[in-house]
Amino acid sequence: MYKFDLRVLGGNKMRHRSLAILLSILCVALATKTCIAATQHPETAAALQLLRNDEIRAARMYRAYARQAHTEKHLNIESFFAALGWSAMIRAEATAAVLNQMNATVVSSGEPDVRVSNTKFNLRLMTNVEGPKMDRRYPLLIEQIKGEGHAVAIKTVTHAWKVDQGHRRLAESILSSMESFFGIAARIPNEFHVCRSCGAVQAGVPELTCPICAGPFSDYGLAHAKWRFYRAINENSRLNAEEKAFAKRVYDHIHATSDPSENVTLARDAVYGEVYEKWGLGAPWDFCLEEKLYIAQLADMAHVWDTYKSINTHALDDADKAYLQEMRDKYGVRPINLRRERARERGKVAPEVQKVLEMVEIVSGRTEFQDEELILLRSLIAPVGFAG
Ligand SMILES: [Zn+2]
């Protein structure tokens, strides 16, 4: 692909720089086999295409780093890498938007290769290898595009460089905390916010305008490992607010309980059809394990939701009425506190039934069961042979 090491070109001599610029244009053109002559800013388009491919590669890499941090139980560092992944996607999308404005074709770079080590090593790679590489790359890109004078493109590249440097400063401080005795030099923040305009990442809660694009702090979003899913659900116009909240509860549960060593292969038709159209995550991307698990159980999830929403407690059949009465006799007339009852009956309830109880909690979003939840519970536990 377009990957090549600028270090071998070295120096500040214009001759070398021109060679690097020429190479970068050639490499993009070769890698993408595309014609960017349609735009009046061919050099700018080539540079932006290169930048966009970098961002897509970075987004994928940071997601893999986040997952690694999760398996090492560095949950604050997981949030950090999740924020960087989000930032890279924001910048990839912003770059694509500028390319579109310029009438240049946006070309996908294919599946980049991502290598992951332990978290400390990943941070070191970022600060010692990737960082210096980018500090050589950005001035070349700016040099390449400034002659064509496309102001938005120049701003996009300049912002991307500043954002990148900000990432590295955060990575350095996290690394120094990890490497200090007992990690007491400085506490690693557990919240990271991302500027939705330029991708700047800030530790803690932002109180001022964005230092890079000057956007208001209301533009910042809280980054966590689930941001991609949350964003896809928030943007899904087929779901109402209640359904979105349900989908997020399902995903939260999957995220909290998934086994990272699990391998899920989605059926070819998993991202097609009515159920995916309604509850899915939009155009398919390289789904992570938890997203695949979510998609794999969409049909069941949609079925349970429809069952729950169709319960009419004013039109119950005799069996349902008898069941409710039985529950009331046992637990009283007030809503049943699920957590308390579950703790009390621990060991006596079969694991399958525990699972069903969890499911009712996820569907309803309630930990206090009322008639609707009890009826749903009954409809779900009948197949696993639990007699009230
Ligand atoms: Zn910003």
Cα gap 161→167, rounded to integer Å: 10
Cα gap 131→282, rounded to integer Å: 33
User: What one-character DSSP code corresponds to residue 382?
Assistant: G
CA dihedral 91, 92, 98, 101 (to 10 degrees): -140
Look at strands 220-223 and 192-195 and give their pairing: antiparallel
214 CA → ligand 1 middle, Å: 6
- Domain identity same for 48 and 66: yes
Cα gap 177→123, rounded to integer Å: 12
98 CA → ligand 1 middle, Å: 17
69-89 tens-digit pLDDT: 888 888 889 999 999 999 999
Q: Residue 238 to residues 125, 181, 245, 270, 279: CA-CA distances in angstroms?
A: 42, 51, 13, 18, 8
Task: Judge whether residue 13 has pLDDT over 70.
Answer: no
288 CA → ligand 1 middle, Å: 27
As for how many domains the chain has, the answer is 3
- Domain identity same for 237 and 88: no
- Domain identity same for 259 and 322: no
Cα gap 335→329, rounded to integer Å: 13
156 CA → ligand 1 middle, Å: 11
260 CA → ligand 1 middle, Å: 33
Cα gap 3→50, rounded to integer Å: 10
213 CA → ligand 1 middle, Å: 4
Domain boundary among 274, 307, 340: 307
CATH number at residue 20: 1.20.1260.10
Cα gap 301→307, rounded to integer Å: 10
318 CA → ligand 1 middle, Å: 61
- Domain identity same for 25 and 169: yes
pLDDT of 144 reads 92
60 CA → ligand 1 middle, Å: 21
160 CA → ligand 1 middle, Å: 10
- Radius of gyration of the chain from its Cα atoms, rounded to whole angstroms: 26
265 CA → ligand 1 middle, Å: 37
Comparing CA positions, the residue from 313, 312, 294 lying closest to residue 362 is 294
Amino acid identity for residue 9 in this structure? L
- Domain identity same for 251 and 127: no
Cα gap 241→356, rounded to integer Å: 24
104 CA → ligand 1 middle, Å: 25
- Domain identity same for 265 and 370: no
Is 219 within a domain?
no
Is 236 within a domain?
yes
311 CA → ligand 1 middle, Å: 47
Q: pTM surpassing 0.85?
A: no
Task: Judge whether residue 327 has pLDDT over 80.
Answer: yes
Confirm if 40 and 101 have CB atoms less than 8 A apart.
Answer: no
211 CA → ligand 1 middle, Å: 7
199 CA → ligand 1 middle, Å: 6
- Domain identity same for 99 and 79: yes
103-131 tens-digit pLDDT: 888 887 766 677 889 999 999 999 998 88
201 CA → ligand 1 middle, Å: 8
Mean pLDDT, the chain, integer:
84
Confirm if 92 and 52 have CB atoms less than 8 A apart.
Answer: yes
- Domain identity same for 301 and 358: no
- Domain identity same for 323 and 302: no
Look at strands 368-369 and 192-195 and give their pairing: unpaired
Task: Judge whether residue 14 has pLDDT over 70.
Answer: no
- Domain identity same for 134 and 270: no
Domain boundary among 159, 184, 209: 184
* Domain range for 370: 311-384
Confirm if 39 and 73 have CB atoms less than 8 A apart.
Answer: no
Q: What is the H or E stretch that residue 42 is in?
A: helix 42-71
- Domain identity same for 53 and 126: yes
